[in-house]
């Protein structure tokens, strides 16, 4: 692909120079609703950020013990695993795919790590690395089924979900590795440190770092651009010369790696190696992505949105609990948030097209 700088020759229209201007941008007067929609298309983080800020304000007033730095740190700790899975899920959803196996993949990698270190006695750092290798291999399997066998991601990952989960139970016998048997390196990300009077964990730092790194990569590399293009219109991307299959495969492999790191994060959070902790995180990761403003139809969204989405769910969960409402209402609220987010996305898509 040539990357020559095109210096376009100046307009040499022989006769009367065409000086009329075609304005790209707002030429019509926008009503207030349309103005908001336009803003949201341009700066897609506005929606989730507004919801988050409002929720924090409301709960700080309504619930005792909510509005403290310590509680905010706790909320981030509570959603960090789902948020990290969300990074992987966002990448895949941006390509107009979906991954139903993220949580099962995470559990399999986690259990494998435990097996290597505890049952097989391999050096702990090696077990960690091998766990990541397992995760990447699983991601590659997903990618292979989607690209080479041309099976739609929903179906492909529905299948691998069962495969990964079954392997997980087979390796672990359904049992957790208890606290005392877990090597310290595995739980290292759960280590806390004090800052401004509140406790934070290394895991939180890693989570935020991952978000920043991937947000940057998506916006500043050709790989990122190609992900959006593939998600928006596969055929058009192909005609533009983008290696579609390579892009898709790379997305699933990178997702595998991210999920592998998430397993490490999970061990730090729960202190043991469990084959079942977090099996429901799969749908939760999709919720975080959707609430964060990424479109399920691909081609549009921001990684930071997923962090906001996860935090929104965490804030509501913590806030409703502290206000004293029953857990049923937390699930109810999350359902409303999801539907609201998708409705807004649908609306924006209509505006766009």
Partner 1 sequence: MTTNTEHTLVMEARGLVKRYGRVVALDHADFEIRAGEILAVVGDTGAGKSSLIQCLAGASQPDEGEIFIGGEQVVLHSPTDARERGIETVFQSLAVSPGLDIASNVFLGRELRRPGFAGSVLRMLDKKRMRAEALEAMSHLGLQTLQDITQPVETLSGGQRQGVAIARAAAFGSKVVILDEPTAALGVKESARVEALIKEISARGIPVILISHNMPQIFEIADRIHIQRLGRRLAIVDTKEVRMSDTVSLMVGAVTPAELGLEDQAATRG
Partner 2 sequence: MRTRLRRLAAMAAAATISITALAGCSSQSAGTDEPLVGLIVKTQDNPFYVKMAEGAKREAAKQGFALQSATGEGQSDVDSQIKSIENFIARGAKAILVTPAGDGIIPALKKARDAGIMVIALDSPLGDPHVADGTFATDNVQAGVLVGQWAKEALGDTPPRIATLDLSTDQIPVDVQRNQGFLEGFGIDTADVTKMWDEKDSRLVGHEVTDANEAGGRQGMEKLLQKDPTINLVYTINEPTAAGAYQAITAAGKQDQITVVSVDGGCPGVKNVQDGVIDATSMQFPLKMAEQAVQAVGAWLKDGTVPKNSPDLDFTNTGVTLITDQAQTGVESEDTAWGLENCWG
- Site size toward partner 1 (CB under 8 A) is 46
Buried-exposed string 114-125: b where 16+ CB fall within 10 A, e elsewhere: bbbbbeeebebe
Phi, psi of 115 (to 5 degrees): -60, -45
Residue 279: which of partner 2, partner 1, none does it interact with, CB under 5 to 8 A by kind?
A: partner 2
CA atoms within 13 A on the CB side of 312: 32
179/271 Cα distance (integer angstroms) = 6
Tell whether residue 271 is a contact of partner 2 (CB under 8 A): yes
Shortest CB 208 distance to partner 2, Å = 19
- Contact predicate 268/191, CB 8 Å: yes
- Contact predicate 153/146, CB 8 Å: yes
Q: Which of 221, 246, 280, 335 binds partner 1 (CB under 8 A)?
A: 221
Tell whether residue 233 is a contact of partner 1 (CB under 8 A): yes
Would the CA dihedral through 75, 78, 84, 90 be positive or negative? negative
User: How far, in Å, are 96, 193, 269 from residue 188 at the CA level?
Assistant: 35, 12, 9
Shortest CB 37 distance to partner 1, Å = 9
Residue 42: which of partner 1, partner 2, none does it interact with, CB under 5 to 8 A by kind?
A: partner 1
- Contact predicate 109/135, CB 8 Å: yes
Pick between residue 170 and residue 297 the one whose CB is nearest to partner 2.
170
Tell whether residue 350 is a contact of partner 1 (CB under 8 A): no
How far does Cα 79 stand from its chain's mean position?
12
Interface region with partner 2, contact rule CB under 8 A, candidates 24-32, 166-174, 229-237, 304-312? 166-174
Q: Which of 16, 29, 42, 149 binds partner 1 (CB under 8 A)?
A: 42
Q: Which of 26, 65, 220, 221 binds partner 2 (CB under 8 A)?
A: 65
Binding residues for partner 1, per CB under 8 A? 1-3, 5-6, 8-14, 18-26, 38, 41-42, 220-223, 225, 228-229, 231-233, 235-237, 239-242, 299-301, 352-353
């Amino acid at each position: 692909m040539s990357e020559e700088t095109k210096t376009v020759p100046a307009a040499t229209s022989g006769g009367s120079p065409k000086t009329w201007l075609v304005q790209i941008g707002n030429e019509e007067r926008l009503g207030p609703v349309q103005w908001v929609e336009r803003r949201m298309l341009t700066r897609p983080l506005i929606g989730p950020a507004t919801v988050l800020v409002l929720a924090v304000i409301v709960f700080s007033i309504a619930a005792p013990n909510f509005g403290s730095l310590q509680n905010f740190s706790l909320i981030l700790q509570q959603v960090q695993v789902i948020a990290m899975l969300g990074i992987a899920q966002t990448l895949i959803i941006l390509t107009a795919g979906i991954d139903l196996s993220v949580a099962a993949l995470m559990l399999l990698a986690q259990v494998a790590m435990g097996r290597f270190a505890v049952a097989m006695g391999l050096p702990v750092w090696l077990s960690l690395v091998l766990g990541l290798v397992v995760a990447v291999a699983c991601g590659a399997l997903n990618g292979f089924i989607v690209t080479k066998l041309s099976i739609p991601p929903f179906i492909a990952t529905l299948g691998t979900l069962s495969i990964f989960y079954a392997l997980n139970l087979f390796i672990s016998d359904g049992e957790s590795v208890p606290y005392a048997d877990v090597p310290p390196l595995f739980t290292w990300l759960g280590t806390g440190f004090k800052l401004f009077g509140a406790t934070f964990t290394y895991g939180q730092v890693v989570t935020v770092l991952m978000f920043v790194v991937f947000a940057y990569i998506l916006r500043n590399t050709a790989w990122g651009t190609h992900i959006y293009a593939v998600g928006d219109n596969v055929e058009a991307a192909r005609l533009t010369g983008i290696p579609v299959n390579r892009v898709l495969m790379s997305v699933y492999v990178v997702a595998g790696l991210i999920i592998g790191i998430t397993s490490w994060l999970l061990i730090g959070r729960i202190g043991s190696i469990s084959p079942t902790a977090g099996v429901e995180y799969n749908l939760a990761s999709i919720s975080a992505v959707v609430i964060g403003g990424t479109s399920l139809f691909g081609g549009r969204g921001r990684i930071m949105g997923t962090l906001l989405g996860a935090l929104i769910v965490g804030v509501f969960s913590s806030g409703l609990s502290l206000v004293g409402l029953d857990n049923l209402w937390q699930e109810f609220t999350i359902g409303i948030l999801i539907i609201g987010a998708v409705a807004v996305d649908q609306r924006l898509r209509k505006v766009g097209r």
